[in-house]
Chain A
Amino acid sequence: MTSLVWNAVEQGEILNPMSYPLTVYRLVMAAGANRDFNAIHHNSEYAQATGAPDIYANTLLLQGMWEKFVRHHVGASARILHLRNFKMRSFNCPGDVVVVKGRVLRKWRKLEEGFLEFEVWSENKHGVSVGPGSVVVSVPIN
């Protein structure tokens, strides 16, 4: 993983999308790993009784998709500072491929620290399912 430097970034730059195929297996693994055992995320019968089409990805899994996406672009030396408007608009269910997309919304600096704000959103076959929101990071200037 390479580390991004602030000087090399262009405002408006589009980031390479990142895909996450969703299966029951993956959602169950995620529930166990992130400890969100709400049955809407691993029990289809239970989820459908609450009005959902099927089990669906939990908040932490969806947030992790954004974090991995941003981290992939900025590298290990960046610090993630803010997450804004992480709005979950529709269910992300098994059979969906969640594609995280984004662009550089803003860049600025304070003394020797550089800051980037990324606009980020997730899409599935129904359209935008999460966001658009933003992630703010600090990165080295050079």
Chain B
Amino acid sequence: MNHSDWRAAWQPMINAVGTEFDAEPARFVADRIEASALRRYLEPLEFDCPLHYDSDVARELGYTEVVVPCSALVTFAYPPMWRPGEQLFTDSERNAQPSGLAISGFITGLEPETVGFFATNFEADYLHPALVGDRLARVGALLVACEPKETSVGRGAFLTWQSNIVNDRHQLIARFKNTFYRYVPHDLVVS
């Protein structure tokens, strides 16, 4: 694929900027937020704030339950990795990936095939606290921007999406803008 071809392959996504790709009703995740899962979230950060693990402190501060850190909202809005009846692991190759990876980002079918992706930018408005006991859903997938670019790791595009996190009491918890870089690594690029 020559220089102009790989950029042109992203044109359908550029044309789709402004499109809402997920207008479905909220699909709440499998589990209510549990204090134990939240406590484990704090461990690798050594995040010692009692608001996130002590319900007495949370109540003294006016909350009805322990408060979820803002940075953990995405974690508790992830769909389950596995559901009854599904098979995730079908290949014993060392680096084989499970099928239906929950963190594959939003795929529209308009983007060219890519191999890797990672997040590059994040913005958020935190509108209402999420509490232990809440069940969350991530709703909406508005394509905000598509910028093809060659970087040090490969050729691809920066894609920016807007979505919301809601709870099962229909409260808007947060609004996010995420940018991901989807790309083909240099050693796999066919010139």
Contact = CB atoms under 8 A, between A and B. Distances in A.
B126 A82 contact: yes
A83 B4 CA distance: 36
Interface residues of A, number: 45
Given A29-B43, A52-B153, A63 B122 contact: yes
Nearest to B174: A83
B49 interface: yes
B70 interface: yes
A87 B43 CA distance: 24
Given A43-B95, A71-B49, A76-B61, A87 B71 contact: no
Given A35-B75, A37-B103, A86-B123, A51 B186 contact: yes
B110 interface: no
A30 B61 contact: no
B95 A46 contact: yes
Given A52-B153, A67-B70, A37 B81 contact: yes
Contact of B70 (A45, A77, A83): A83
A85 B49 contact: no
B18 interface: no
Contacts, number: 126
Interface of A: 1, 20, 26, 29-30, 32-40, 43, 45-46, 49-52, 58-61, 63-68, 71-72, 76-77, 79-88
A80 B126 contact: yes
B106 interface: no
Nearest to A82: B125
A64 B121 contact: no
